[in-house]
Structure 1
Amino acid sequence: MNIHYKKLTENELDIFIEMRVLQLREEGAKEDIDLVPALKDYYNRHMANGTFVSWLALENDKIIGTSGMSFVEKPPYFGCPNGRVGLLSSMYTEPSYRRKGIAKELLTRVINEARLYGCGTVQITASDKGRLLYTDFGFVKHENFMHYKL
């Protein structure tokens, strides 16, 4: 295995978006919506202003793993006194490459990006498949997450 890592650029964005949609479907999304235009708009805007970063895993120029970190600012709270929060997303590894340390390496790289940005905490909504990766890394589950769909 000759795997290398690089930051996402505009050149890889279309494939990155395809893999994001695959990840969402694998996690159970059933909605019949074309998310590609909205994802393209989001990533273009947030990559340009520095509030989204992604590391990719590649083997022979083929993307085999993705990661993403969005940076948001919330009102400061005791768990994060500066209010800067990293929202982890787009963690996906091609099935035949799983359980080889690729996701852990990608996670390490985007966590470092959050640290450099000044985030006080990183949050994720973990799929069942990803939960072990995150707990092994040191993420702690909180029971009080709720959402309200508008």
Structure 2
Amino acid sequence: MFNEYLEKSEYVNYDDPNVKKQADILKVQSSDKLSLIENTFLFVRDEIKHSWDVQDTRVTVSASDTLREGVGICWSKANLLAALLRANGIPSGFSYQRLTLGDTPESGYCIHALNTVYISELDKWIRLDARGNKEGINAEFSLGEEKLAFPIKSEGEVDYHDNHSYPDKGLMTVLTSSDDMLDMYLHYLPDKLSYSVEYKVATRDDMDIMMSSRLEMLKVVNDLDHSYEYSEEMIRNSLKYFEEGNHTTVLALDGDRVIGCATMCYVFIMPTFSHPTGKRAHLMNVYTMKEWQRRGVAKKMCSMLIEEAWERGVTEISLDATEEGRQLYYKLGFTDSAECMVLVKS
């Protein structure tokens, strides 16, 4: 469950030895999972100083950078908090606010980062703001009412209440292209997020992406642990199909990150009066990352594939629908069929 919120990455690099060591220390100091979450939050909030508060010019980006230097702005501190939690198997993500730089809209706006954390004992997500407290700012650990660093108070400010499994690429680009944190903080803070979706038909050059997306999708729909290892046979046959099978796969991308995929598999069977071409298709492998669900991504990918299937002379498209996905497929024109029977080898 929530495998994407347990991933390690360039910025949430909890495979770094020092990050792992600190995560282990926090676990030993904690009596249970809730106290571990609270202690991890307090460590990042209090022990990692906010660059502006201490007027430190060092630029930190990844979790390991931020832990090593002991400073960072909210974006980099959020990377560290997510990494320390994920290192201990606790799903964590990123949420954002658009805030005024000063007290009025005329001062301009910036993007503030905080974290989401899944509380398994309560089956709920909460948000924690590890920016760091000072006079006028008091963010606290809370399982109930949020106690964040900044309330939304001015025109143009926005609390997105989002929950992304990876940090905004635009913010990370600003950090990695800077060599003076204070100069960046004064002059180059963006006032909007860069999350966006582009769609492309996959080619052989995208083989690795198609394979990783397929295997990740199978973990999610089958409720497998993120560390689950597939058999060599499963990997070999999946790769063989992508290489040799008659199919079209659409990828949904946020920058260079795959946030969704869908595949139309084509089959040619004996023609019938209802289907004189014998060309049929099966829609499968439809997957969208949790934070992008209910935002039209799956519908767009499926629509692209359906349009191509009609153009290729297909007269019937089938699919295996989960209960969760049925409403989407009804909207796309699919109907329940009483004509099909299936024999599964026992």
Give the aligned partner of residue 100 of structure 1.
295
Deviations 1:111-146 (A, max 9, x none): 112112110011101112211110111101124332
Deviations 1:88-109 (A, max 9, x none): 1110001110000000000000
Give the aligned partner of residue 342 of structure 2.
146
Cα distance in 2 for residues equivalent to 1:9 and 1:93: 19
Paired residue for 1:9, among 181, 203, 210? 203
Cα distance in 1 for residues equivalent to 2:257 and 2:235: 20
Deviations 1:2-47 (A, max 9, x none): 21111112232222222212222333387x634111111111112x
Equivalenced residue count is 146
> Does 2:236 align with 1:37?
yes
Cα distance in 1 for residues equivalent to 2:342 and 2:217: 22
1:147 is displaced (CA, Å) by: 2.5
Give the aligned partner of residue 251 of structure 2.
56
Give the aligned partner of residue 28 of structure 1.
222
> Does 2:212 align with 1:18?
yes
Paired residue type of 1:82:
T
Query: Structure 2 vs 1, CA of residues 79 and 39 (structure 1 numbering), >3 Å: closer, same or farther?
Result: same
Paired residue type of 1:12:
D
Give the aligned partner of residue 310 of structure 2.
115
Paired residue type of 1:42:
Y
Give the aligned partner of residue 270 of structure 2.
75
Q: Which has the larger radius of gyration?
A: 2
Counterpart of 2:294 in 1: which secondary structure? coil
Counterpart of 1:113 in 2: which secondary structure? helix
Paired residue type of 1:72:
V
Give the aligned partner of residue 91 of structure 1.
286
Cα distance in 2 for residues equivalent to 1:60 and 1:100: 17
Cα distance in 1 for residues equivalent to 2:257 and 2:341: 36
> Which 5+ residue runs of structure 1 have no aligned equivalent?
none
Question: Percent of counterpart pairs with the same letter?
Answer: 27
Paired residue type of 2:342:
M
Cα distance in 1 for residues equivalent to 2:323 and 2:211: 22
Q: Which has the higher strand share?
A: 1
Cα distance in 1 for residues equivalent to 2:261 and 2:341: 25
Checking the alignment, whether the CA contact within 8 Å between 2:249 and 2:264 is kept in structure 1 is yes
Cα distance in 2 for residues equivalent to 1:106 and 1:59: 14
Cα distance in 1 for residues equivalent to 2:298 and 2:312: 21
Question: TM-score by structure 1 length?
Answer: 0.87
Counterpart of 1:54 in 2: which secondary structure? strand
Checking the alignment, whether the CA contact within 8 Å between 2:299 and 2:328 is kept in structure 1 is yes
Paired residue type of 2:326:
R
1:58 is displaced (CA, Å) by: 0.6
Cα distance in 1 for residues equivalent to 2:301 and 2:275: 23
> Which 5+ residue runs of structure 2 have no aligned equivalent?
1-194, 225-229
Cα distance in 2 for residues equivalent to 1:140 and 1:25: 27
Paired residue type of 1:146:
V
Aligned Cα RMSD in Å? 2.1
Cα distance in 1 for residues equivalent to 2:336 and 2:231: 30
Cα distance in 2 for residues equivalent to 1:23 and 1:91: 8
